[in-house]
Amino acid sequence: MTTKQSRTGHLIGYKRVSTKDQDAQLQADALSEAGCSKVFEDKLSGKNTERPGLLAALEYMREGDTLCVWKLDRLGRSTKDVLTLAEKLHNRGIALRILTGTLAGSYSPKGEGKFFFTMMVAFAELERDMIVERTRAGLEAAKAQGRTLGRPSVINEDVIAAAKARKAKGESVTAIAKALGVSRATLYRHLTD
């Protein structure tokens, strides 16, 4: 599985991370090891329908090439999106290769392969939905136990007291926020509580 080319064309890689802060190095290493001759990248959520890196990869690819991804979820977030893309690839004579995960392998969306591919994509989407549901349930349980969620507040009682004293002297909220090193929105929220 680490050949430099597929039988009739080139391996073209696609990597995607959800935010600009995330690093795609793990994906890049896997695509390089798989033998991808060219790799395209997006740094945005899979929920975005416009993915310039993926569009460029699709435009670049020719019949006989193989689109190679680290994991299926790098292609899209929904079963419909991934299946539509896989169908487009197949219609152009382009294969799809997934390097890791439960769906690792090469897929052609026709006949029995289409059924298997559809079922596995549906299971991947179900798994992601279950993770979201478990995360939500965990957050609700933590909240019910009185645990504070999210980032710690930058405002404490001393900051609020200082802000109120400055406000009483006629200073603007913008000036107070700047002096105390907090955002105006945060300051307004705490002054109105």
Question: For 35-93, what is each residue's pLDDT tens digit?
Answer: 999 999 998 875 656 889 999 999 999 998 999 999 988 887 777 778 778 778 878 88
Could you tell me if residue 98 is inside a domain? yes
Q: Name every residue whose Cβ is closer than 8 Å to that of residue 145 and which is 6 or more positions away in sequence.
A: none
Same domain, 25 and 109: yes
Question: For 128-139, what is each residue's pLDDT tens digit?
Answer: 788 889 989 988
Q: Where are the beta strands (DSSP E) in the chain?
A: 11-17, 38-43, 66-69, 95-98, 105-107
Could you tell me if residue 46 is inside a domain? yes
Could you tell me if residue 148 is inside a domain? no
Higher pLDDT, 1 or 123: 123
Same domain, 162 and 101: no
Radius of gyration (Cα) for the chain, nearest Å? Answer: 24
Burial (CB count <10 Å: 0-12, 13-18, 19+), residue 147: exposed
Give catalytic residue positions: 18
Same domain, 19 and 66: yes
Host domain of residue 183: 157-192
Same domain, 24 and 64: yes
Question: For 164-178, what is each residue's pLDDT tens digit?
Answer: 999 899 999 899 889
d(CA 3, CA 142): 48
Same domain, 24 and 113: yes
Q: How confident is the model at residue 22 (pLDDT cuts 50, 70, 90)?
A: confident
Average pLDDT (110-121) is 67
Token pair of 175 as six digits: 């000036």
Q: How far is CA 129 from CA 95, 100, 124, 125, in A?
A: 27, 20, 9, 6
Average pLDDT (12-24) is 85
Long-range contacts of 181-188 (CB under 8 A, 24+ apart): 181/154, 182/154, 182/155, 186/154, 186/155, 187/155, 187/163
What end-to-end distance do the CA atoms of the chain give, in Å?
61
Could you tell me if residue 25 is inside a domain? yes
pLDDT attached to residue 8: 60
Same domain, 27 and 109: yes
Query: Does residue 121 surpass a pLDDT of 80?
Result: no
Report the mean per-residue pLDDT for the chain: 83
Q: Name every residue whose Cβ is closer than 8 Å to that of residue 61 and which is 6 or more positions away in sequence.
A: 12, 67, 92, 94
pLDDT attached to residue 48: 59
Looking at 113, 130, 147, which one is the last position of a domain? 130
